[in-house]
Structure 1
Amino acid sequence: MKRFHSYLAGFAVSLSFLCSVAHAASKPALTVKLIPWRTRWVLPVSVGGAERKLLFDTGGGLTLLSPDALKGCDAWGRLTGFRMFGDRGDTKRCSNIRIGVSDYSVVLPAVGFINLGKLNPGDADLDGIASLNLFDGKPVTIDFLNGQLTVESPESLAERTKGMRHLKARLNREVQGLALSVMLEVPTSKGPAYMELDSGNGGTVLVGKQVAELFGLDPAKEAKQTAHFSVVPGVDVDTEDAFTPDIILDGNLGMPFLKRWVVTLDLKTGDVWVAAAKRPS
């Protein structure tokens, strides 16, 4: 009997050890708390050893920093992109800039300049924008309701996405392939439309004038409208803050959509999963 109890105790210890190993294996690579910034979020980073605050902008494409954050950089050449309203943006570039996010760091092949205070005085205290190219090739999860960003490990990605809805999407690369954003596939009666996931858009859902009628919206109306359409059954865009401007995209899904979801983006494969966001109990 004593031997049986000894075997039982040994089995329990082994089981406990295996469970802790499995738990450790499924831990994400990194979890970062985002900082509230009105209707959006700020990502705390380090650049050249200095702490910086960057607007977390999943629709930004390129990570851009203030002249102060890039002080000492030997700027050269030009990077050119187009904003969704069709206006062109040019900036000189800095090469091989290391940006740290807690224990994670990456050397970006190109970083451009931006002065957010000139664009919006309310953003003057920010040092730039952090775009998805910071995490190029990595799987990341963003809880847009509670402000948490997670860089997943292969094991935590598999565990995380078990109960999530898979959505069709495309990785969008502009600016000579340096930029990175995600375009969600949204069905219409004519075929799939593609809408950008944009956490830099704090208050609206935009549907391009050219496809507005396919989503039951009035392309001629300048005031906001109520939009309701499905990405897949159970994952809906439902907002009273939709507009139908003349943009070069089919659409742009800002925080009125994103804050309802926890979104996992595999920035290597283009896979996207979502689950309903919940406030902690």
Structure 2
Amino acid sequence: MRSTLHLFICFFTFLSVTYSSSAQTPVEVLPSGHIIIKASVNGVEGKFFFDTGGGINLLTKKFADKVKNIKKEDGYFTGFRATGERLDVPLYKAQTISIGNWTYKQPTLTILDVDLASYDGLISMNLFENQPFTLDLNQNLFTLETAKSLDKKQGQKVGLQIQKERGVAVSLFTYVVLNETDTLQFSLDSGAGNNTFSIHSRYAQSTGIDLSDTTKVKSFLRKSEFNPNVQTGYYVTSVKKLQLKDAAPVNIENFTTRFTTDLIYDGIMSINWFGKVISIDIKNATMIVGK
């Protein structure tokens, strides 16, 4: 299931949103670290992975068959997985996606015949470009924020880099320091679960790692879920330290990572090690992290 969560590239469209600034919604955190949130699509409620790593809002075909008034768009969007594999994604338009008493009108989404166990799809960051939010994993709450409420947040402020493509795609990145030597730009990906890291293999040497050393490095190949002729090679080993560039006290040491030659980014990382309270303000390209 984890690999399925990396399949999708995120989309953004400038559409109207209505919300209550005090809205809070419970979330469920799975043992794997994946965050589950309830949302309604055209009034039909489901349970979705909350995915900061990008990814178009996704409905499984099984769930979409229950939802009326979803309209297929004429066009497709061609994107690329983090491993460089091309994906051509069909686009649909729903009337609304609602989380609690907050509603996003005319969201773009896709429908795919994929198995996400008992879950109904992905909720992605394209809904929140103009709406800041907080994930409180102490209390398992998702909270909509305002500029005023964000000013009261305590914690480390971290700059985000927002990537937009052709007016539709949005991705979140921030700078990290690897082994106190390399300053790199990593993608933020709650869809990866807890403590999941992928780093481009070009940085193995600067971390003092010999990827050919089978006593310290385990290698494997993974076939694509879409094209069995496409395989990605991974090298699994331990790295000494990773820290947020803008918040050095936020760091993780002696962690397991996967090096790969096929990444189109410097790296991809989970967000759980940032702290238990994470506020994201995409419009102002900032994040606040705390205990």
**TM-score w.r.t. length of structure 1:** 0.76
Matched residue, 1:58? 52
Q: CA 1:33–1:68 in 2, change beyond 3 Å: closer, same or farther? A: same
For residue 212 of structure 1, the aligned residue among 201, 204, 208 is 204
> More helix by proportion, 1 or 2?
1
Please tell me the residue identity of whatever aligns with 1:238: E
Q: CA 1:186–1:226 in 2, change beyond 3 Å: closer, same or farther? A: closer
> More strand by proportion, 1 or 2?
2
Following TM superposition, by how much is the alpha carbon of 1:228 offset from its aligned partner in structure 2, in angstroms?
1.0
Identity over aligned pairs, percent: 24
Structure 1 window deviating more from structure 2 (139-148 vs 264-273): it is 139-148
Do 2:70 and 2:94's aligned partners in 1 also have CA atoms closer than 8 Å?
no
Matched residue, 1:269? 284
Matched residue, 1:142? 135
Q: CA 1:207–1:216 in 2, change beyond 3 Å: closer, same or farther? A: farther
For residue 127 of structure 1, the aligned residue among 106, 120, 125 is 120
Do 1:73 and 1:94's aligned partners in 2 also have CA atoms closer than 8 Å?
yes
Rounded Cα–Cα distance in structure 1 between residues aligned with 2:177 and 2:141: 29
Rounded Cα–Cα distance in structure 2 between residues aligned with 1:147 and 1:131: 18
1:223 matches 2:244: no
Following TM superposition, by how much is the alpha carbon of 1:245 offset from its aligned partner in structure 2, in angstroms?
1.8
Q: CA 1:108–1:186 in 2, change beyond 3 Å: closer, same or farther? A: farther
Do 1:205 and 1:257's aligned partners in 2 also have CA atoms closer than 8 Å?
no
Following TM superposition, by how much is the alpha carbon of 1:214 offset from its aligned partner in structure 2, in angstroms?
3.9
Partner secondary structure for residue 192 of structure 2? coil
Larger Rg, first or second structure (1 or 2): 1
Q: CA 1:216–1:54 in 2, change beyond 3 Å: closer, same or farther? A: farther
5+ residue gaps in structure 2?
Answer: 1-19, 218-234
Do 1:34 and 1:41's aligned partners in 2 also have CA atoms closer than 8 Å?
yes
Rounded Cα–Cα distance in structure 2 between residues aligned with 1:68 and 1:58: 23
Following TM superposition, by how much is the alpha carbon of 1:275 offset from its aligned partner in structure 2, in angstroms?
0.9
**TM-score w.r.t. length of structure 2:** 0.74
Q: CA 1:177–1:214 in 2, change beyond 3 Å: closer, same or farther? A: farther
Do 2:132 and 2:144's aligned partners in 1 also have CA atoms closer than 8 Å?
yes
For residue 157 of structure 2, the aligned residue among 157, 166, 178 is 166
Following TM superposition, by how much is the alpha carbon of 1:191 offset from its aligned partner in structure 2, in angstroms?
6.6
Following TM superposition, by how much is the alpha carbon of 1:35 offset from its aligned partner in structure 2, in angstroms?
1.7
- 1:148-170: per-residue Cα shift (whole Å, max 9, x none)? 2211022211111xx31111220
Q: CA 1:267–1:105 in 2, change beyond 3 Å: closer, same or farther? A: same
- 1:88-144: per-residue Cα shift (whole Å, max 9, x none)? 222211125410000001024421123441xxxxx2221111111121212111234
Matched residue, 2:172? 182
- 1:72-96: per-residue Cα shift (whole Å, max 9, x none)? 5332321222111111222211125
CA RMSD for the aligned pairs?
A: 2.5
Matched residue, 2:265? 249
Matched residue, 2:147? 154
The equivalences for 1:11-30 within 5 A come to 28-30=21-23
Following TM superposition, by how much is the alpha carbon of 1:51 offset from its aligned partner in structure 2, in angstroms?
0.7
Q: CA 1:256–1:214 in 2, change beyond 3 Å: closer, same or farther? A: farther
